[in-house]
C-alpha cells in the first residue's frame, strides 16, 4: 500500500504536501513517525524541516498577534481620559483650559515615574506561572498591589500638600507669578485628580498581572468601560443638569469624573483577577472547613482516630485546599495555594519587586530627563516658541507611533516571561526573533508612511506655516528613527520578560549619558535637538542588540 491517504495516519495539514511525494509504505496508523524518519534520511529532509519551521513560526505569529492587537487597543484608548476632559473643559473658557495643561502634566509625570510597577509585575508573575509556582505568582501580585496602593496614597498626599510647587515647577513659575486665577483652577483639578492615583497604580499592577496570564483582552474591555464612564459623567459634573437644579462644578467636575472612572476600573481589575488561577482564596474558619467536609461525606466523622492530635496541636491550622509546608502531612490538597494571611517570611518576596522597581525607576528617570532636557533646550534656543510648538507636534507623532511597537513589546514580554519560567530557552530565542521581525517590519512601514506624508502631517495639528515647515523637517528624523525604535522597544520587552532589569537600567543611563552632552552643547535649535534624540535611540538600539545577540 502506497502513501496515498495521509488522513489515515493523522499527519498535520502543513506536512501533507511534501510527504505525498514520498512513496513509502504505510503499515499502521503509527507510520507517521516512520515517514518522518524516512524523510530525514532522504532528499526530502530539508523540505520537511522547512515546513515544520514554518508551522512553528505561524504558531508564534498567532500568539504574538493575539496578545499585541488587544494591547494596541488598550494603549490607544488610555489617552482618551485626558482628551475627553480637554474637549469638555475647552467649552468653559480659556482660563480653565490653560489650567488643565500644567495640572495634567504634573499628574502624567507622576504616573510615568511609577509606571515601573506594572513593568516589573508582568515578568515576575509570568516566570512564576511558567514554572507552575502559583503560590509565588499570587503573593507577587498581592505584594505589588499593596506596594502600588501605598505609593499611590503617598503620592496623593504629596500632591495635596505641595501641588502648587509642582505646578510652578512644570510651568516654569509663570502660572504662579502671572495667573493667580489659572493657578487656583489648576490646583483644584490637580488635587481632585490626585485622588485617583492609588486606583491608577493598583490598576496598572493588575493589568500587568493579567498580561502575565497572557490576557490582554480583559484590560482592553476595562479601558473601554472606564472611558465610557468618564464620557458619561464629564458633561454632567462639568456643566450640571439645570432641570434638576444642579449647576455643575466646572473643571473640578472633569477631575472628579475621571477619578470615579479610575476607581471603577480598579474594582473591575481586582474582580477579574479574582476569577483567575492566581486569585486569592477567601480565608475560611475551621468551622466552615468542617461543615464542607460534612457535606461532602456525611458518614465521615469530623475527627478520626488516625489523626495525631498532639502533632496537630503543634502545627498551625490551614484551611482546606491550602498547601502544607514541606514535611507536613498535607494529603492530596492542591499545593499551589498560598496561606492567608501571609506569614512574615512571605514578606521577603517583596525583595524581587523592590529590586526590579528600583532598576526600572532609574531607567524611567533617565528617559524622562532626556525628554525634559530636549524640551527645555528648544524653549531656550533660537527657534523659540515656534520651535517648541513644532517640537510638540513631532513628539506627539513619535509617541503615537510608539503605541504600535509597544503592543509588540507587551506580547514579547509576556511570552518570554512564560517561556523563561518553563526553562525553554530555545522557545525564548524563537519568540525574540519573531517579535524583533515584527518590530523592525512595523518600524519600516511607519518610516515609509511618515516620509511620504511628512509635509502634510503637521497640518493636522496647526495652520501656522512656520510651525508646519519646522515640524516637517523634524519628522524626517522621526521617520528614520522608526526601525531603530522597533528594535529598542521590542528589545525592552524581551529583556524585561527575562527579568534583566539591571541591564535595562544600565543601558538607559548609558544612552542618556551619550545624548545629554549633545543636547547641552548643541545650539538649541529644533534640528540639533532632534539629532540628539536620534543619537539617543541609536545608543538604545545598540545596547539592546548587543544584549540579545542580534548585533
* Predicted confidence (pLDDT) at residue 246 exceeds the cutoff of 90: no
Q: What's the rounded Cα separation, in Å, for the pair 16 and 10?
A: 10
Q: What is the pLDDT of residue 306?
A: 42
Q: Which residues of 414-426 are buried (b: 16+ CB within 10 A; e: fewer)?
A: bbbbbbbbeeeee
C-alpha–C-alpha distance, residues 352 and 366, integer Å: 21
The neighbouring-strand residues paired with 241 are: 246
Model confidence at 218: pLDDT above 90: yes
Assess contact for 34 and 70: CB atoms under 8 A.
no
Q: Is the pLDDT of residue 550 over 70?
A: no
Find the helix or strand (DSSP H, E) in which 359 lies.
Answer: helix 350-379
Lowest mean pLDDT among 274-288, 307-321, 441-455: 307-321
% of the chain surpassing 90 pLDDT = 30
Decide which of 265 and 171 is more confident.
Answer: 265
At 4 the pLDDT is: 43
Place 115 in a pLDDT band, splitting at 50, 70 and 90. confident
Any bridge partners for residue 246, and if so which? 241
Give the pLDDT confidence of 301-310 residue by residue, as tens digits.
Answer: 544 444 444 4
Q: Could you report the per-residue pLDDT of 326-371, keeping only the tens digit for each?
A: 444 444 344 444 444 444 445 566 777 778 878 888 888 898 888 8
Percent of the chain with pLDDT over 70: 74
Q: Which parts of 284-349 fold into alpha helices (H)?
A: 286-296, 309-314
Contact, 483 vs 443, CB < 8 A? Answer: yes
What letter would DSSP give residue 246?
Answer: B
Give CA–CA dist 118/123, Å, rounded. Answer: 9
Given a cut of 50, is residue 282 above it in pLDDT? no
Q: Say which range, 158-172, 250-264, 266-280, 315-329, has the weakest mean pLDDT.
A: 315-329
| Rg value, the chain, Cα | 28
Residue 231 has pLDDT above 50, yes or no: yes
Is residue 12 over pLDDT 70? no
Residue 67 contacts residue 415 (beta carbons within 8 Å)? yes
Q: How confident is the model at residue 401 (pLDDT cuts 50, 70, 90)?
A: confident
CA-CA-CA-CA torsion sign (201, 206, 209, 213): negative
Q: Compute the distance between CA of residue 214 and CA of residue 133 in angstroms, rounded to an integer.
A: 16
Query: What per-residue confidence (pLDDT) applies to 376?
Result: 78
Q: Which of 99-113, 292-306, 354-368, 493-507 has the lowest mean pLDDT?
A: 292-306
Angle separating helix axes 350-379 and 526-548, nearest 10 degrees: 150
Nearest-angstrom CA–CA distance, 69 and 220: 10
Which pLDDT tens digit goes with each residue over 466-488? 888 888 889 999 999 999 999 99
Q: Is the pLDDT of residue 37 over 80?
A: no
**Dist. CA 233–CA 256, nearest whole Å:** 9
Whole-angstrom Cα distance, residue 126 to residue 215? Answer: 11
C-alpha cell belonging to residue 49: 524541516
What pLDDT shows up at residue 356? 81
Q: Rounded to an integer, what distance in angstroms lies between the CA atom of residue 193 and that of residue 82?
A: 11
Confidence of residue 312 (pLDDT cuts 50, 70, 90): very low
Question: Which string of b and e fits 319-345 if b means at least 16 CB within 10 Å?
Answer: bbebbeeeeeeeeeeeebbbbbeeeee
Residue with cell 488587544: 70
Name the band, by pLDDT with cuts 50, 70 and 90, for residue 176. low
The model's pLDDT over 50-86, given as tens digits with 9 standing for 90+, comes to 555 555 667 888 888 888 889 888 887 776 777 788 7
**Where residue 316 falls among pLDDT bands split at 50, 70, 90?**
very low
Question: How confident is the model at residue 228, as a pLDDT?
Answer: 93
Q: What is the mean pLDDT of the chain?
A: 77
The more confident residue out of 331 and 242 is 242
Q: Minimum mean pLDDT among 241-250, 342-351, 444-453: which range?
A: 342-351
pLDDT at 180: 77
Q: Which residues contact 225 (CB under 8 A, 6 or more apart)?
A: 264, 265, 268
Q: Where are the beta strands (DSSP E) in 256-395?
A: none
Contact by Cβ (8 Å): 200, 152: yes
pLDDT category of residue 266 using cuts at 50, 70 and 90: very high
Q: Nearest to residue 35, comparing CAs of 80, 58, 1, 61?
A: 1
The answer, yes or no, to whether residue 45 has pLDDT greater than 80, is no
Amino acid at each position: 500500500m502506497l502513501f496515498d491517504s495521509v488522513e489515515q495516519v493523522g499527519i498535520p495539514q502543513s506536512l501533507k504536501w511534501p510527504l505525498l511525494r514520498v512513496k513509502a509504505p504505510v503499515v499502521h496508523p503509527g507510520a507517521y513517525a516512520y515517514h518522518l524518519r524516512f524523510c530525514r534520511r532522504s532528499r526530502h529532509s530539508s523540505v520537511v524541516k522547512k515546513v515544520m519551521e514554518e508551522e512553528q513560526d505561524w504558531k508564534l505569529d498567532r500568539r504574538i498577534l493575539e496578545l499585541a492587537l488587544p494591547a494596541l487597543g488598550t494603549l490607544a484608548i488610555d489617552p482618551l481620559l485626558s482628551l475627553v476632559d480637554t474637549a469638555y473643559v475647552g467649552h468653559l473658557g480659556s482660563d480653565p483650559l490653560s489650567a488643565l495643561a500644567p495640572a495634567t502634566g504634573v499628574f502624567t509625570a507622576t504616573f510615568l515615574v511609577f509606571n515601573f510597577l506594572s513593568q516589573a509585575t508582568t515578568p515576575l508573575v509570568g516566570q512564576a506561572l511558567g514554572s507552575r509556582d502559583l503560590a509565588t505568582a499570587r503573593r507577587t501580585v498581592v505584594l505589588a498591589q499593596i506596594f502600588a496602593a501605598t505609593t499611590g496614597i503617598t503620592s496623593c498626599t504629596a500632591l495635596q500638600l505641595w501641588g502648587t510647587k509642582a505646578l510652578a515647577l512644570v510651568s516654569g513659575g509663570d502660572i504662579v507669578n502671572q495667573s493667580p486665577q489659572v493657578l487656583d483652577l489648576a490646583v483644584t483639578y490637580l488635587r481632585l485628580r490626585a485622588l485617583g492615583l492609588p486606583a491608577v497604580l493598583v490598576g496598572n499592577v493588575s493589568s500587568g498581572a493579567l498580561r502575565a496570564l497572557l490576557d490582554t483582552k480583559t484590560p482592553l474591555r476595562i479601558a473601554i468601560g472606564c472611558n465610557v464612564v468618564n464620557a458619561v459623567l464629564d458633561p454632567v459634573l462639568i456643566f450640571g443638569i439645570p432641570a434638576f437644579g444642579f449647576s455643575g462644578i466646572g473643571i473640578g467636575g472633569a477631575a472628579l469624573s475621571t477619578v470615579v472612572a479610575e476607581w471603577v476600573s480598579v474594582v473591575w481589575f481586582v474582580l477579574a483577577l479574582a476569577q483567575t488561577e492566581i486569585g486569592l482564596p477567601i480565608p475560611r474558619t475551621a468551622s466552615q472547613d468542617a461543615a464542607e467536609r460534612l457535606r461532602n461525606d456525611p458518614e465521615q466523622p469530623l475527627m478520626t482516630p488516625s489523626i495525631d492530635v498532639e502533632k496537630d496541636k503543634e502545627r498551625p491550622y490551614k484551611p482546606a485546599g491550602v498547601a502544607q509546608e514541606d514535611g507536613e502531612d498535607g494529603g492530596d490538597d492542591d499545593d499551589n495555594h498560598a496561606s492567608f494571611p501571609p506569614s512574615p517570611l512571605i514578606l521577603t518576596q517583596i525583595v524581587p519587586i523592590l529590586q526590579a522597581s528600583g532598576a526600572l525607576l532609574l531607567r524611567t528617570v533617565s528617559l524622562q530627563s532626556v525628554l525634559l532636557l530636549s524640551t527645555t533646550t528648544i524653549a531656550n534656543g533660537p527657534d523659540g516658541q515656534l520651535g517648541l510648538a513644532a517640537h510638540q507636534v513631532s513628539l506627539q507623532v513619535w509617541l503615537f507611533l510608539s503605541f504600535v511597537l509597544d503592543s509588540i513589546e507587551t506580547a514579547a514580554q509576556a511570552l518570554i516571561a512564560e517561556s523563561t519560567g518553563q526553562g525553554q530557552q530555545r522557545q525564548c530565542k524563537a519568540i525574540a526573533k519573531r517579535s524583533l521581525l515584527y518590530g523592525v517590519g512595523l518600524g519600516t512601514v511607519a518610516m515609509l508612511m511618515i516620509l511620504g506624508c511628512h509635509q502634510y502631517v503637521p497640518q493636522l495639528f496647526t495652520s501656522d506655516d512656520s510651525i508646519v515647515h519646522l515640524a516637517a523637517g523634524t519628522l524626517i528624523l522621526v521617520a528614520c528613527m522608526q526601525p531603530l525604535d522597533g528594535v529598542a522597544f521590542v528589545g525592552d520587552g524581551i529583556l524585561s520578560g527575562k527579568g534583566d532589569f539591571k541591564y535595562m537600567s544600565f543601558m538607559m543611563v548609558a544612552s542618556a549619558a551619550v545624548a545629554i552632552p549633545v543636547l547641552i552643547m548643541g545650539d538649541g535649535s529644533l534640528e540639533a535637538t532632534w539629532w540628539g534624540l536620534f543619537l539617543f535611540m541609536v545608543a538604545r538600539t545598540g545596547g539592546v542588540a548587543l544584549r540579545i545577540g542580534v548585533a
